[in-house]
Structure 1
Amino acid sequence: MYIPTYEDMLAAHERIKPYIRRTQIRTSDYLNELTGAELFFKCENFQEPGAFKVRGATNAVFGLDDERAKKGVATHSSGNHASCLSYAAMLRGIPCNVVMPHSAPQAKKDTVRRYGGKITECEPSTSSREATFAKVQAETGGDFVHPYNDPRVIAGQGTCAKEMIEQTDGLDMVVAPIGGGGMISGTCLTLSTLAPETKVIAAEPEQADDAYRSFKAGHIIADDAPKTVADGLLVPLKDLTWHFVKTHVSDILTASDPEIVDAMKLTWKHLRVVMEPSSAVPLATILKNPNVFKGKRVGVIITGGNVDLDRLPWMKG
């Protein structure tokens, strides 16, 4: 297992600079007052494909040599990684095949197709996703870019924390959502060298809390098909991301689905940005644990903004 280094992250940042946005930091006096903390929101929902995963995907795609790139890339994803890999492949002019659960939000499927990705649907479980993907990859021969358990992807995701530290002049803590652990791993990779005094806290839905249980148990515990409003956080940790979680994460905090939806509403109203449920989990955990964050300078990574506007979680029916 190759563990990416700080130098890999720096190289990734140079490689992807022409293709990504240096997303802005947003603040809210109201949310600061509500939480008792000074919150700095890194708006990765403002990336062209609407999610932070464009960083890791672009690093992987543009790191391929020309011979390997000819066969394109392939992956499995509930949505944002599929969209971002399709986008990066489109920029390089190579094919992209993705396996997605049939329950994935239509907005995310539409984005994949808009960027030229070819979708094969599967059941909404990790086992079905991986079995279907094995068939697709055997047929296409594309380079497998794992959504998170890939050194190239983790190095790319780590560029977000680098920018955040540069834009905020130092933070006491950074909070990001955790599903498979790609963003958290990249954040740990960067901050452990660039700002080792900054704590990394992961935020997870109560209804898909396998990372929390893994953290407490000291080994990976994987759920096959959890159900939560935070559809981007349904996948389990893998060996590479578990390395960063167990080594560098200070704590994992959880929030219920109603708390996540309430936090999502708050940010739409007071931060005035569109974020998906998975991106609201950090604020939900901050609101739930005020004593942890009170008086601190806290970076919050808004990981994505791809939502189905016809099926918002607070709509009835």
Structure 2
Amino acid sequence: MTLVIAGGGTAGHVLPALAVARALVARGHASGDIQFVGSSRGIEARIVAEAGFPITLLPGRGLARRLTPANFGAVLGLSLAAVRALRLVARWRPSVILSVGGYASVPCTVAAVLLRVPLVLHDQNAVPGLANRLAGRFARASAVSFEATPLPRAVVTGNPVRTEVLAADRSPAGRRAARQALGLASTGLVLAVFGGSLGARRINEAVADLVRTWSPGTELTVYHVVGSRDWGSRDWGSRDWTSRDRAGVAWDGLDYRAVEYEERMPLLLAAADVALCRAGGTSVAELAAVGLASVLVPLPSAPGDHQTANAGALVQAGAAVMVPDHELTAERLAAELEPLLG
């Protein structure tokens, strides 16, 4: 049996796809029978290959949400990718195509419809993306992460979470071990800050202001995954930029660590007391899986405002607080963190 997994662009699409692929391998399917198809612009180019699965990369990019000249080029690129996808699917003759969404899924979903290959969708968010909304009428089933997700023939499966995240040990001994592995103090509180591979500018700015104005007394480690977009904007690893407003007590009780990207996210989730992050479907699923309290700042430009809907599920469950992006300041962040950090 050959399975094609189509989609990508961001880790939020790719990581659940990898979780499905690994689960199939654990059930006895050969990894070589699972063919990934993604975008040459996406993160899947690296992480799928590193996971040991074959992947074919097609040209194309996503459409802008407003009419721009660049959209004509995007449509042309996706059309050329669809022609290539037709040839690939005709050659592979897969039993099923799984679309995990994103613009990178479009060529293979077109091929599935034209070649009458069974199509299954998976959407990670409470509000489905454009690619899955368009493909929904043609799908045999739609695996969704939230009960209210409006896709045809929906089955609530949840959002597949990586086995290494599921294995994160948040027992006292497990947390001590995770902190030791990350080089953090075994005592005190840990705030994990992350915003995806690119990072989140509003979160980065609020955390920078919080660090500059930190009041000494509470033992707190801020582990800040800055992301590639803002990493070059200052020397995050230096204490110079943080100490200007701190009158000689800049680091009393505060340990600030900054990295551009963190490959060991399961360790960070195990080590932390609270997370500060966006509310993408994969982030929300992983926070829920490990039971980590969080302050969620939904991305306001997310299509269909799906991150607000994602965050609402954790807020309703009492597992998170939500702060609108335009309201996030150092003062608001400190007020929200204080009760969570105890």
Give me the TM-score of the superposition, normalised by structure 2.
0.35
**Higher helix fraction: Structure 1 or Structure 2?**
1
Q: Highest Rg: 1 or 2?
A: 2
Give me the TM-score of the superposition, normalised by structure 1.
0.37
The structure with higher relative contact order (CA 8 Å, sep 6+) is 1
